[in-house]
Structure 1
Amino acid sequence: MTRNSAPTRERIIAAASKLFYGEGIGRVSMDAVAEKAGVTKRTLYYHFRSKDDLVAAYLYGRDQPNLSLFQRWFDETEGGLAEKVRGIFIHLAGSARHPKWRGCGFLRTTAELAHMPGHPAIKVGAAHKKRFESWIRGMIEGEGVRDGLPLARQIMLLLDGSFAVTLLHRDPSYMEAAGDAAVTLLRTALRQQRSTEAPARPRRAKEG
């Protein structure tokens, strides 16, 4: 790829992202993407061989920014691990109150492509979710929990479940409720961890 072609590719992805997220991938044609990006269809197909490739690039472009946003919300929330995780849900609830919010782009795309399990976009979405899971697992194990994978997966289920239910009811309070449930899970796990690590009290010798 030449130096001059990179901005064109980025402009196409930006246009596709707005259209795919706002309307869904099935309703957006390559003609519509080309028009919004201000390029010819020939130029569009020069950069992306097919719509499938463009959809995968759309999700790939959301991967790191989304993870960075979650990490920033986590870092900026005061308190311990449980409170910081809840901070992610609280911020998501705030985002869901925006009129242009359409849920999780990764989950929505996967739902549209459920009949095509080998689609490259599904692989991108799965990798994104695994990266979030690995990151939250690292945060949990950093607090002394020996195996944070089961707990990280429970947090993932709460997160993605809240995306789905909030989108269905258009009620962000479901995300806040999921955040409260995450707090309960994490606090319980941390208490159990500390109780197993607490040294046993020495028995008093019997008198007499």
Structure 2
Amino acid sequence: MVTPRTSTRDRIIAAASKLFYSEGVRSVSVDAVAEKAGVTKRTLYYHFSSKDELVAAYLDDRDLPNLVLFKRWFDETEGDVGKKMQAIFDNLARATKSPKWKGCGFLRTAAELANLPGHPAVKVGMRHKKKVEAWLAEQFATDDSIREPPRLARQIVLLMNGSFALVMLHRDPAYMESAGNAARTLVDAARR
């Protein structure tokens, strides 16, 4: 059996992901990423023109897996859309109990780069959050009894991101569980 080789670019992104997520984007140097990836700094800069580009690639690499996970949790849950929404929050609450959980990488990076609103990584984070909101609106639109799916999706995204922040501050998954209950209540209230 042949094991597929990981490209140098992928190795760099994987190393950056581990370091940036665990330590933060500002505190990790390009030298540290190159060392963890097993490449020279020159090789890293061959693949990424700047640290800013590398930080954006780190978040871009997280985008699809996060959406796929949300979709899987949603699809695996029996019941109506409200129950499926609550299941996403319940699964997130379980994930936050892990000692490896450091918060939402998109929100943490945006907070670190708050004074740089045009930063490429901030733009990637904005795009990701908009994709989640659009996906939620699509799910709500499949239920003819739900009024204003885009409005409901925005409310759920507010609950989700607020609970990410509170769980990170307090290290208490109960905030995520409470947000899941509130999400289900919002879905029920949005029915005609």
Query: Which band: TM-score by shorter chain?
Result: over 0.9
Listed one character per residue, the Cα deviations across residues 158-204 of structure 1 (whole Å, up to 9, x for unaligned) are 000000000000000100000000011101112xx1xxxxxxxxxxx
Amino acid at match of 1:63: D
Distance 2:178 2:159 in 1: 9
Match of 1:9?
Answer: 9
Name the CA distance, whole Å, in 1 between partners of 2:76 and 2:147. 25
User: Which SS does the other structure have where 2:100 is aligned?
Assistant: coil
Q: Does 1:153 find its partner at 2:183?
A: no
Distance 2:77 2:166 in 1: 24
- Structure 1 runs of 4+ off > 4 angstroms? none
1:147 deviates by 2.4
Shift of 1:6: 7.1
1:115-157 CA distance string (max 9 Å, x none): 0000000110000000000000011111013521111100000
The TM-score, its normalising length taken from structure 2, stands at 0.95
Aligned to 2:81: 81
CA–CA distance in structure 2, aligned partners of residues 78 and 150 of structure 1? 24
Shift of 1:79: 1.0
Task: Structure 1: give runs of 5+ residues left out of the alignment.
Answer: 194-208
Cα distance in 2, alignment partners of residues 51 and 94 from structure 1: 32
Q: How many residues align?
A: 187
Cα distance in 2 for partners of 1:6, 1:146 equals: 46
| CA shift for structure 1 position 105 | 0.2
Task: Find the counterpart in structure 2 of residue 131 from structure 1.
Answer: 131
The answer to whether the 8 Å contact 2:147/2:190 transfers is no
Partners of 2:77 and 2:149 lie apart in 1 by: 21
Instruction: Provide the identity percentage.
Output: 63
Aligned partners of 1:122, 1:162: CA distance in 2, in Å?
A: 20
How much has 1:77 moved relative to structure 2? 1.2
1:47 counterpart residue number: 47
- State how 1:1-208 maps to structure 2 within 5 Å: 7-144=7-144, 145-190=146-191, 193=192
d(CA) in 2 for partners of 1:6, 1:172: 35
Change (3 A) 1:177 1:146: closer
After superposition, the Cα gap between the structure-2 partners of 1:53 and 1:178, relative to the gap in structure 1 and judged at 3 Å, is: same
Secondary structure, in 3 states, of the residue corresponding to 2:130?
Answer: helix
- Over the aligned positions, Cα root-mean-square deviation in angstroms equals 1.1
Q: Secondary structure at the match of 1:143?
A: coil
Secondary structure of the residue aligned to 1:25 is: coil
TM-score, normalised by the number of residues in structure 1: 0.88
Letter of the aligned partner of 1:44 in structure 2?
A: L
What residue identity is the alignment partner of 1:127? R
The residue type equivalent to 1:55 in the other structure is V
C-alpha separation in 1, matches of 2:115 and 2:128: 20
Larger Rg: 1
Partner-residue secondary structure (3-state), 2:98: coil
